[in-house]
Structure 1
Amino acid sequence: MKKPLKIATIGGGSSYTPEIVAGFISRYQDVPIKELWLVDIEAGREKLEIVGALARRMVEKAGVPMQIHLTMDREEALKDADFVTTQLRVGLLDARIQDERIPLSHGAIGQETNGFGGFMKALRTIPVVLEIAKEMERLCPNAWLINFSNPSSMVTEAVHRHSSIKCIGLCNVPIGMQRSVGEVIGDEDFFIHFLGMNHYVWGKHIYHQGREITQEILPKIIEHESTKSVVKNLKPIVWNKEFVQQLGMLPCPYHRYYYMQDDILHEELESFKDGKTRAEVVRGVEEALFEIYKNPELNEKPAELEQRGGAHYSDAACGLIRAIYTNSQEIMVVNMPNNGTIGILPDDAIIETSAMITSFGPVSLKASPLPAPAQAEILLMKTFERLTIEAAVKKDYNIAIQALTINPLTKHGAMTRVIFNELLQAHKPHLSGWQI
């Protein structure tokens, strides 16, 4: 029998933590975790203690011998860990609010992982995750890093390019897409082959009962998604049916930012006029969740957590850890090195795709080529991502501007610099090494 595991969760005071604890409890027979270390920083101490107490009640109710440790000492948590998960948010929700409000104040899209918001989050997050990776090289060099800190693709690629640590990225968007397709089809006998990048992924092929049904099912999925949003932070703005049919693939919800930019911006500006961004809505949801978590009688993951955008990230991480640990060779959607899967991208570029999960990592499935327009889009977006990583590592203003100037959501001429400069000032405490 394999030895019991030690797992460290960085950002342990997150509102998502009850989901990851529930996921580990439900998989305990396959993944015998002896120690789960929840790690946070001083600013997150109160939330860590609240969520840690709930985690202990959950474990006690389940009757599994899993020890819950709470700590501010990251090195103590990482020492001899078998798996490390990252669900951190540098600057907390206050930083996200700035990421959204500042661009919107200039009439540009303000969003957590796309455009200026995703770019700034990458600048803050990549250096911190690389610090964690360097500590892992010393304290647990054989551990897997399972990253679901956004922007997941860029963070995962930064680790692959600047560290020897084994790292896989995750996103809950494909999970939401699968659920949506399942609701349309009406049963579970289907498979979606995903191909693309994080928040820029397509359902390349949809198979049902031994047939590919992509073209015939697309109109029904579009109709379904016109009334029900796949992700919490995006209103179900209706796709143009003819456009999607011509595309020949199922776009992810975040493609609306690129394919329907004016519609998305209009929605965001209307909300902004009313005085609230999505980040401020989320802060209210979080405050309500932590009030629920404080209840000493609560000993399970509350249903209200489903209302938090990003639900199912943590459970997916538990499933991925199980798949690696047991060498289950099941198919999951992950962020992993391209290795020839998308011919137009470098082998070391991180893509999001369906892959078989083994004890030595993910093995991608062979994919037919993307249509020419999609190839052009993905090459542009991957170039943006790689420049962003370079800017984050080198803390280079000019490389940052180069990245922003090629992204369709941030290419605003002189205004690009104005917005970026304001964001740099707003995030100065979390951008050490930048000349601001």
Structure 2
Amino acid sequence: MSLKIVTIGGGSSYTPELVEGFIKRYHELPIEELWLVDCEAGKEKLEIVGNLAKRMVEKAGVPIKIFLTLNRREALKGADFVTTQMRVGLLDARVKDERIPLSHGLLGQETNGAGGLFKGLRTIPVILDICKDMEELCPNAWLINFTNPAGMVTEAVNRYSSIKRVIGLCNVPIDMHTAIANILNADKSKVKVTFGGLNHMVFATSVFLDGEDVTSQVLSKWGKQSMNNITGTEWNNAFVKELGVIPSPYQRYYFMAKETLEEAVKKYEENGTRAEKVKEMEEELFEMYKDTELKEKPKLLEKRGGAYYSDAACSLISSIYNDKGDIQVVNTVNRGALSDLDPDEVAEVSAVITKEGPIPITIGKLPKAVKGLVQQIKSFEVAACEAAVTGDYNKALLAMIINPLVASQRYGNIVLDELLEAHKEYLPNFFETRK
């Protein structure tokens, strides 16, 4: 059986990694057509990345046909898998998400706090429109989403769409697995790590090396581990050991809130937010992509915070297609895996991947020290989804203020108003409901 895969946001700088992943798996994933889709604003980038993709496929000698289009519905007809890697408003919107909250002393970040809320508000209506097209044009296709905030977006699809074949992906567990293997000085394939929580609020709950439980050993050594887009203070080993689960780099925003905010404000004042650095890197990448002699993914791409997202997507698609039954970390319906969340809520959890989709591994209860935070973030996600769908100002205000990185009526209100105005072009439902 030949496969048709559609990538929405095909002009993304991550697309070469996706193409590389499909090329190296062609022996087990016989893709006949790969459609790269983008919007008018992304047309130039789509052509640049698309031409690189064609060169990569030609060099590899695999018979994958690459199609470039701005017509989403044309692309979706008969698709087997649809991947989404969008940024509504492009990087300029991310700059606003970071800088506006920071101007009021609140953390501005792509997937957390006020910035994360607004990325969700812009993205969810677009994703749900894609789902409507899928319901009509490829109702049996799998939707593999790695558009951030991945957990919130997957929650919205699960709640407000009839598309149930949806899985969210994140590269954080992959990075953590690699870091854990390095701590143990062991081959990654021999290290089994179980994860549970939410997207960017996930914890490694157990670690086994060659069948032996080595969780406490990793807990006592978890210090410097971070990601390209998250820096800052090292973890206090005594704290992590008492916590009982291994935190992701994103938990710095919560367990080191003061330190990370101080660092972010300093960068903001120096005009050095992460968004602006990413813009510079994007420009450099696309200059490289234009080179007709380039026929492979450049190393610079690995310095982006989302490196290995795309490879994870390729691995997931292959596991579903081949009914592998291997274990991967995905955003999927909880189904009782984490007893601290409702069964029908989306969790980020280790799961067995089959042709019918993910089967979450039962973890049970999280430690009391982290349970409340996970539940608070889930309540924020659910409120944000409802706000995105309804365009209701008060629901957005609720989501803003209950987020622990905001937790201020005064500044939450101010930042909400400023971000709504800044992103007015991409939030029409909010302004329609306020007429």
Counting matched residue pairs gives 429
Q: In 2 relative to 1, CA 150–430 (structure 1 residues): closer, same or farther, beyond 3 Å?
A: same
Counterpart of 1:414 in structure 2: which amino acid?
A: R
* Residue 282 of structure 2 is aligned to residue 286 of structure 1: yes
Gapped regions of structure 1 (runs ≥ 5): none
Q: Does 1:252 align with 2:248?
A: yes
Which residue of the partner structure matches residue 39 of structure 2? Answer: 41
Pick from 2, 20, 23: which aligns with 1:4? 2
Distance 1:8 1:399 in 2: 33
Q: How does 1:115-264 map to 2 (within 5 A)?
A: 115-165=113-163, 166-188=165-187, 189-222=190-223, 224-225=224-225, 229=226, 231-264=227-260
Aligned to 1:19: 17
- Asked if structure 1 preserves the Cα contact closer than 8 Å seen for 2:338 and 2:362, the reply is no
SS in 2 for 1:433: helix
Q: Kindly indicate whether the alpha-carbon contact (under 8 Å) linking 2:125 and 2:389 is maintained by their aligned counterparts in 1.
A: yes
Gaps of 5+ in 2: none
Choose the corresponding residue for 2:271, options 265, 272, 275.
Answer: 275
> What SS does the aligned partner of 1:192 have?
strand
TM-score, length of structure 1 as denominator length:
0.97
**Deviation string, structure 1 residues 324-357 (Cα, Å, up to 9, x no partner):** 0000000000000011111121111000010000
Q: Bigger shift: 143-152 or 184-193?
A: 184-193
TM superposition shift of 1:33: 0.4
2:218 & 2:330 partners in 1: Cα distance? 24
Q: TM-score, normalised by structure 2?
A: 0.97
Say which of 321, 333, 337 aligns to 1:337: 333
SS of residue in 2 equivalent to 1:195: strand
Q: Secondary structure at the match of 2:286?
A: helix
Matched AA of 1:65: P
Displacement of 1:371 in angstroms is 1.0
Indicate the SS of the match to 2:5: strand
CA distance in structure 2 between the aligned counterparts of 1:16 and 1:344, rounded to whole angstroms: 34
- Equivalence map 1:359-398=2 (5 Å): 359-398=355-394
Alpha-carbon spacing, 1:346–1:368, altered in 2? closer, same or farther (3 Å): closer
Deviation, structure 1 residue 310? 0.3
Q: Structure 2: how far apart are the matches of 1:18 and 1:397?
A: 39
Q: Distance between the aligned counterparts of 2:354 and 2:232, measured in 1? A: 36
The alignment yields a C-alpha RMSD, in angstroms, of 0.9
Structure 1 residue ranges (4+ consecutive) displaced by more than 6 angstroms after TM superposition = none
Deviation of 1:216 after TM superposition, in Å, equals: 2.0
Deviations 1:107-135 (A, max 9, x none): 11011110011000000000000000010
Q: Distance in 1 between matches of 2:222 and 2:415?
A: 37
Which string of whole-angstrom CA distances, capped at 9 and with x for unpartnered residues, describes residues 288-319 of structure 1? 00011111011111111111110000010000
Cα deviations across residues 372-419 of structure 1 (Å, max 9, x unaligned)?
122211111111110110000011111111112211101122111001
Q: Select which of 317, 322, 325 maps to 1:321.
A: 317
The letter for the 2-side match of 1:63 is: G
Displacement of 1:106 in angstroms is 0.7
Q: Is the 8 A contact 2:221 2:237 kept in 1?
A: no
Percent identical: 54
Report SS of the residue matched to 1:37: strand
Q: How far apart, CA to CA, are the structure 2 residues paired with 1:219 and 1:296?
A: 49
Query: What SS is found at the alignment partner of 1:346?
Result: coil
- Letter aligned with residue 192 of structure 1: V
What does residue range 302-317 of structure 1 map to in structure 2 within 5 Å? 302-317=298-313
Aligned-residue offset at 1:209: 2.0
AA aligned opposite 1:238: E
Shift of 1:4: 0.4
Is this contact kept in 1: 2:336–2:362, CA < 8 A?
Answer: no
**Higher mean Cα deviation, 70-79 or 408-417?**
408-417
Offset of 1:368 from its aligned partner? 3.6
Distance 1:236 1:27 in 2: 37
Q: What letter is aligned with 2:277?
A: V
* Equivalent residues of 2:28, 2:318 under 8 A apart: yes
